[in-house]
């Protein structure tokens, strides 16, 4: 089961995506990237960010014992009983 330190590590990994965007910017300005290369680089980064977001949500669920990591499933029959 992952903990808050794992979540912190995954959040800090987001800085690498910022650096990659900087690399794309440099490629556009300094190396005259083609439109196809720019689109491919941005789409690749988008896919990587989507996957990372899914991983972070799973880690968050593990840290706070949510969803499939819940140890005590809710009993909806008695949850709102007064």
Examine residue 31 and state whether it is found in any structural domain, yes or no: yes
Examine residue 78 and state whether it is found in any structural domain, yes or no: no
How many structural domains comprise the chain?
1
How many Å apart are CA 39 and CA 33, to the nearest integer?
A: 10
Q: Which two tokens stand for residue 74?
A: 């809710």
Q: What is the pLDDT of residues 8-58, one digit of tens each?
A: 999 999 999 999 999 999 999 999 899 999 999 999 999 999 999 999 999
Examine residue 10 and state whether it is found in any structural domain, yes or no: yes
Q: Domain residues for 60?
A: 4-70
Examine residue 76 and state whether it is found in any structural domain, yes or no: no
Q: What is the pTM of this model?
A: 0.76
Examine residue 65 and state whether it is found in any structural domain, yes or no: yes
Q: What is the DSSP string of 25-53?
A: HHHHHHS---HHHHHHHHHHHHHHHHHHH
pLDDT score at 81: 58
**Residue 74 pLDDT level (bands cut at 50, 70, 90):** low
Q: What is the pLDDT of residues 27-40, one digit of tens each?
A: 999 998 999 999 99
Q: How far is CA 77 from the centre of its chain?
A: 35
């Amino acid at each position: 089961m992952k903990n808050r330190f794992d979540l912190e590590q995954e959040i800090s990994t987001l800085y690498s995506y910022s650096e990659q965007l900087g690399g794309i910017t440099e490629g556009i300005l300094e190396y005259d990237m083609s439109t196809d290369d720019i689109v491919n680089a941005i789409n690749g980064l988008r896919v990587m960010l989507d996957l990372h977001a899914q991983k972070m949500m799973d880690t968050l669920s593990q840290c706070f014992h949510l969803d499939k990591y819940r140890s005590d499933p809710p009993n909806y029959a008695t949850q709102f009983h007064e």
